[in-house]
Amino acid sequence: MKIIIPVIGLCAGILLGIKSGIVLPYAMMAYGGVGILACLDTVLGGVRADMEHQFQMRIFVSGFFINGIVAIGLVWLGKQLNMDLSIAAIVVFGSRIFYNFSKIRRFLLNKRQKEAMIGEE
């Protein structure tokens, strides 16, 4: 599975972030939160694509960085316009995360059901 490397990288990044002791200033919290959501969406999309045998590393890497940059840019633009556009990013990425989780769950449940059917034969 090609996707195991990005998942390990995500876990390592989370652990490094927790253990580093770096604290974002309050003014930057919206940027960090939306950026993390965008990157998590990309990782889950990569896992789903790998399960569907459609995973491509360059699409994953470009999506990881571009989604994060666009999400942070959207929050920045909202602050410049005195609008809370982070809510829009949260809704979009949140719905995509739930969609990817549902696809992964269905894939795993169907895979186990097929394995059980093969085992009965």
Q: pLDDT tens digits for 13-67?
A: 889 888 988 887 888 888 888 988 998 899 889 889 888 889 888 998 899 899 9
Name residues whose C-beta falls within 8 Å of residue 2's C-beta, 6 or more positions apart in sequence. Answer: 50, 55, 57
Q: Which of 36, 58, 55 is nearest to 45 (CA)?
A: 55
- Rounded to an integer, what distance in angstroms lies between the CA atom of residue 34 and that of residue 30? 6
Q: Which of 96, 97, 93, 102 is nearest to 35 (CA)?
A: 93
Convert the pLDDT of each residue in 88-120 to its tens digit: 889 999 999 999 999 989 988 888 777 777 766
Residues in the chain: 121
